[in-house]
Chain A
């Protein structure tokens, strides 16, 4: 039976002198014994169904919701873990964006059970099947990957960089800012441009090309409120447009959807307030 070495358990060798050390031998099971091990408890499995939107542009098929079953016991807690497991084990053709797996890059933004969020931060909901679809009202490139070029162009259009008319007080050094002025940027600089807010706004659904959307307007406010920036009046005039700013009707879906806990609606109200007092 025993093919390998079997060391019998020895009782603890009492230390005779301080120099001698106690050596403990443990008994090792043989190879055959190891294979015969019986599990103490029955291995349970928690099945969970995911209904994932699938569309391949190169195939002639229409988009569809495909069902995938996985065992939650062998999977991490977040939706991204489940997607990666499905891609590894069940269907390698499942396509989705992901990068940091910790909620800081904004790549894995998608619609999970009707709510926009980051897949790496959304826990897998318990219960019945979970529906995973791409961000709503965006052109789909493949499966869960959407076309973000319009969103990025809108962000570029508000000129999200520091603009000054006068040179800095100390040339080639940082432009100083008080703590209170820096506090004004809190709640805006943390935006990761995941597009969860803009794609949850019904006003952005109906006017994606003309309305800038909560994310771009949040960043517009971030540069308007920056004390170091000297083009505040020009920035306010650039946004002061019937469509660019005033398509916002304070629906506030954006604040609900933001995975970082920001409130773009509040920042948009700030811009509207400044528009009233400036002109």
Chain B
């Protein structure tokens, strides 16, 4: 199914895609309204990181992968009902 023009994915890229798939699979097991919200949050976060984070910044990508796996474990648990996010504006901090 892979197009011949696509470059081969590196191990880390495969891990990120696998994590994304796992998140969407976990979302399927929740209520329908929650499922759409989880899918939109997860896809927006992954798309934002894919454009903002430098491809060579392995340290940060591995840190995000570990954090994502922990969040996925929490989401997979049947007790977890949904997922929500909070946007904090990075306002100018005063330094004395």
Contacts and interface: CB of A to CB of B under 8 A. Distances in A.
Interface of A is mostly: loop
B53 to A, nearest CB: 9
B60 A147 contact: no
Interface of B is mostly: helix
Contacts, number: 12
Contacts of A63: 59
Contacts of B59: 62-63
12 contacts: A57-B60, A57-B63, A60-B54, A60-B57, A60-B60, A62-B59, A63-B59, A139-B63, A139-B66, A141-B63, A147-B66, A149-B70
Nearest to B66: A139
A141 B60 CA distance: 10
Interface string A147-161: 101000000000000
Contacts of B60: 57, 60
A139 B57 CA distance: 16
Contacts of A62: 59
Contacts of A147: 66
Contacts of B54: 60
A93 to B, nearest CB: 11
Interface string A182-194: 0000000000000
Nearest to A63: B59
Nearest to B57: A60
A63 B63 CA distance: 13
B88 to A, nearest CB: 12
A62 B57 CA distance: 9
Given A57-B63, A139-B63, 10 more contacts: A57-B60, A60-B54, A60-B57, A60-B60, A62-B59, A63-B59, A139-B66, A141-B63, A147-B66, A149-B70
Contacts of A139: 63, 66
Contacts of B70: 149
B43 to A, nearest CB: 21
Interface in B61-82: 63, 66, 70
Interface in B30-54: 54
